[in-house]
């Protein structure tokens, strides 16, 4: 075991003031505190990698969930959180809700351990205890909002303990806008580590041996059938599907880096792409989705790998007719608005349109990058409004404007659509849980989408049955028939306004 060192006490009096703040309030204070605590560099990098605007912070779950999920899904990887107990409770709950089979590590803190630097010592101790090479290839430690704002210096942790890699990352909600991009923060950090290892000497071979064909690394989580289907489409070009990043095991990182080309299926993996570029790899955007998407993608991948034109044509001629047939066999009829936070929204919209749907709006919580440019242009040419960094308000306004037969979206979008008696589907649970690519993807959405649209009459029946019950003044649970009291409400409103004015006057006077 490496000898433990004494860690200097942090000289950051602002640290204590951010304890108690979070994503509900105090973002500006936390950013200032983080900057004065030597986190400017990391915040600047995030601001460049994950540009905000037009909406600053899409309403989505805690961003750190993305990094946590990537860590928890990797074999022989321990993931530890450092943050406020309420954040850790929420993140642990969510990860187990989504089926994590692993424990989440936690290093608690209080105001005193933050300002004295004891928290860092506690993290260091936890990392040393956890770094057992018999159990783990890597230990990931994630600074949440308060420890990041307080400058807890994870970069001072040893890079390796007993052969176990130590990966420390800051994933504050005030620096990483979405949980999708937080996946990239960890995937990028791991790729960087693995790239340095590969550059330094021999590394572990892939579990199934090194591929005898040039491989295409697939960037972005996808339905398990999709990489298999992509592999089949690459085969006539003499190529093979490589690993999916974020990977499921450390050694796959070397395999991912050792590719002929990277397919940025999800377009927001900016830090990961930086590592692939540093390893000398080309990047191809978009995905083999629908007829036109697959035709263009096979050509772009083939050209990037110097595949002769006749082999690219062979792959296209083999699969495109099947895709066309599958799309025609399962048409979708109806107007759809679509929004999500996974980064695959534009691809899904393309598939829906090629299936015959009338898609009017696509909102993505993710930022605009060059890797989704072709999809955006394709959609806009079909008259679709594409909104990057879409807010909940954008998504809801699109429903009001386009009055769709079906709203696909996040939980609050679906909730609102249901209130309006519109059929709706959860993007994450019902759309992302299906193959989207190539032949398997063509037509895969028709069943669920058409069934949902056909349910409109049920919403109408429910609305006429319940009428206004449970809305407005009668919302809630009552043991008597609720009575509306507008006078009482007006009186309370007046008093609150008066109190607010008084408070403001006192603040200005003080």
Where on the chain is the footprint of ligand SF4 (CB under 6 A)? 22-23, 62-64, 83-84, 87, 90, 144-145, 173
d(CA 192, CA 22): 30
Our CB check for ligand SF4 shows the closer of 87 and 445 to be 87
Comparing CA positions, the residue from 47, 31, 16 lying closest to residue 145 is 31
Integer Rg of the chain from CA: 25
State in angstroms the smallest separation of the CB of 87 from ligand SF4.
3
Instruction: Identify the helix (H) or strand (E) that includes residue 386.
Output: strand 385-388
State in angstroms the smallest separation of the CB of 428 from ligand SF4.
18
CA distances from residue 71 to 75, 190, 365 in whole angstroms, order as listed: 9, 10, 22
Tokens of 221: 């989580």
Our CB check for ligand SF4 shows the closer of 145 and 449 to be 145
d(CA 221, CA 433): 11
Our CB check for ligand SF4 shows the closer of 144 and 365 to be 144
Comparing CA positions, the residue from 119, 160, 162, 126 lying closest to residue 141 is 126
Our CB check for ligand SF4 shows the closer of 84 and 337 to be 84
State in angstroms the smallest separation of the CB of 105 from ligand SF4.
15
Partners of residue 358 on adjacent β-strands: 335
Residue 90: exposure state from Cβ atoms within 10 A (0-12, 13-18, ≥19)? middle
Our CB check for ligand SF4 shows the closer of 59 and 428 to be 59
d(CA 352, CA 434): 13
Residue 285: exposure state from Cβ atoms within 10 A (0-12, 13-18, ≥19)? buried
Which residue is at the shortest CB distance from ligand SF4? 173
d(CA 53, CA 45): 16
Q: Where are the beta strands (DSSP E) in 171-260?
A: 215-219, 240-245
Our CB check for ligand SF4 shows the closer of 119 and 408 to be 119
- What distance, in Å, lies between the first and last C-alpha atoms of the chain? 57
State in angstroms the smallest separation of the CB of 162 from ligand SF4.
30
State in angstroms the smallest separation of the CB of 177 from ligand SF4.
10
Our CB check for ligand SF4 shows the closer of 79 and 84 to be 84
State in angstroms the smallest separation of the CB of 360 from ligand SF4.
32
Our CB check for ligand SF4 shows the closer of 179 and 251 to be 179
State in angstroms the smallest separation of the CB of 184 from ligand SF4.
16
CA distances from residue 187 to 8, 173, 450 in whole angstroms, order as listed: 30, 17, 36
Our CB check for ligand SF4 shows the closer of 143 and 387 to be 143
Sign of CA dihedral 445, 448, 454, 459: negative
State in angstroms the smallest separation of the CB of 59 from ligand SF4.
12
Sign of CA dihedral 452, 458, 460, 465: negative
Our CB check for ligand SF4 shows the closer of 144 and 289 to be 144
State in angstroms the smallest separation of the CB of 83 from ligand SF4.
5
State in angstroms the smallest separation of the CB of 97 from ligand SF4.
15
Our CB check for ligand SF4 shows the closer of 58 and 173 to be 173
Query: What b/e string do you get for 254-269 counting C-beta neighbours within 10 Å, with b at 16 or more?
Result: bbbbbbbbbbbbbbbb
Our CB check for ligand SF4 shows the closer of 63 and 293 to be 63
State in angstroms the smallest separation of the CB of 128 from ligand SF4.
24
Q: Where are the beta strands (DSSP E) in 399-498?
A: 406-409, 424-426
CA distances from residue 111 to 19, 84, 147, 308, 316 in whole angstroms, order as listed: 6, 10, 10, 63, 61
State in angstroms the smallest separation of the CB of 64 from ligand SF4.
5
State in angstroms the smallest separation of the CB of 148 from ligand SF4.
9
d(CA 500, CA 508): 12
Comparing CA positions, the residue from 357, 340, 361 lying closest to residue 433 is 340
Our CB check for ligand SF4 shows the closer of 177 and 288 to be 177
Comparing CA positions, the residue from 344, 328, 317 lying closest to residue 226 is 344
């Amino acid at each position: 075991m490496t000898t433990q060192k004494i860690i200097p006490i942090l000289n950051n009096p602002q640290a204590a003031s951010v304890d108690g703040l979070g994503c509900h309030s105090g973002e500006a204070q936390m950013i200032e505190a983080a900057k004065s605590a030597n986190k400017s560099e990391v915040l600047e990098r995030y601001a460049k990698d994950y540009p905000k605007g037009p909406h600053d912070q899409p309403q989505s779950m805690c961003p750190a969930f993305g990094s946590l999920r990537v860590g928890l899904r990797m074999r022989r990887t321990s993931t530890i959180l450092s943050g406020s107990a309420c954040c850790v409770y929420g993140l642990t709950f969510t990860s187990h809700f989504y089926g994590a089979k692993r424990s989440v590590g936690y290093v608690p803190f209080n105001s005193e351990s933050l300002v004295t630097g004891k928290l860092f010592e506690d993290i260091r101790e936890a990392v040393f205890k956890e770094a057992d090479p018999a159990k783990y290839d890597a230990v990931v430690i994630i600074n949440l909002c308060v420890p990041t704002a307080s400058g807890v210096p994870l970069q001072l942790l040893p890079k390796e303990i007993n052969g176990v890699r130590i990966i420390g990352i800051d994933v504050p909600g005030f620096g990483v806008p979405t949980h999708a991009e937080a996946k990239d923060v960890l995937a990028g950090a791991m790729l960087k580590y693995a790239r340095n290892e590969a550059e330094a000497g021999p590394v572990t071979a892939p579990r199934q041996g090194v591929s005898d064909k040039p491989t295409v690394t697939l960037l972005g989580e996808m339905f398990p059938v999709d990489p298999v289907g992509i592999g089949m489409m690459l085969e006539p070009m003499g190529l093979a599907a490589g690993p999916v990043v974020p990977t499921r095991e450390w050694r796959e990182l070397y395999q991912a880096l050792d590719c002929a080309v990277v397919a940025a299926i999800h377009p927001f993996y900016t830090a990961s792409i930086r590592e692939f570029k540093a390893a000398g790899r080309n990047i191809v955007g978009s995905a083999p989705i629908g007829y036109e998407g697959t035709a263009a993608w096979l050509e772009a991948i083939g050209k990037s790998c110097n595949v002769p034109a006749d082999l690219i044509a062979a792959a296209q001629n083999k699969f495109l007719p099947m895709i066309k047939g599958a799309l025609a066999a399962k048409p979708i009829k109806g107007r759809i608005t679509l929004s999500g936070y996974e980064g695959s929204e534009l691809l899904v919209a393309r598939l829906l349109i090629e299936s015959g749907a009338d898609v009017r709006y696509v909102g993505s919580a993710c930022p605009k990058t060059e890797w989704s440019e072709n999809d955006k242009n394709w959609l806009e040419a079909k008259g679709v409004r594409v909104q990057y960094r879409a807010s909940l308000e954008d998504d809801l306004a699109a429903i009001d404007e386009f009055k769709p037969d079906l709203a696909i979206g996040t939980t609050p979008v679906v909730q609102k659509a249901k209130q309006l008696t519109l059929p709706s589907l959860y993007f994450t649970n019902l759309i992302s849980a299906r193959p989207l690519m190539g032949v398997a993807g063509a037509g895969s959405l028709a069943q669920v989408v058409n069934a949902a649209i056909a349910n409109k009459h049920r919403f109408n029946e429910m609305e006429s049955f319940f009428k206004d019950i449970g809305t407005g003044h009668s919302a809630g649970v009552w043991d008597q028939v609720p009575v509306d009291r507008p006078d009482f409400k007006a009186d309370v409103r007046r008093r609150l306004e008066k109190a607010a004015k008084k408070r403001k006057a006192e603040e200005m006077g003080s």
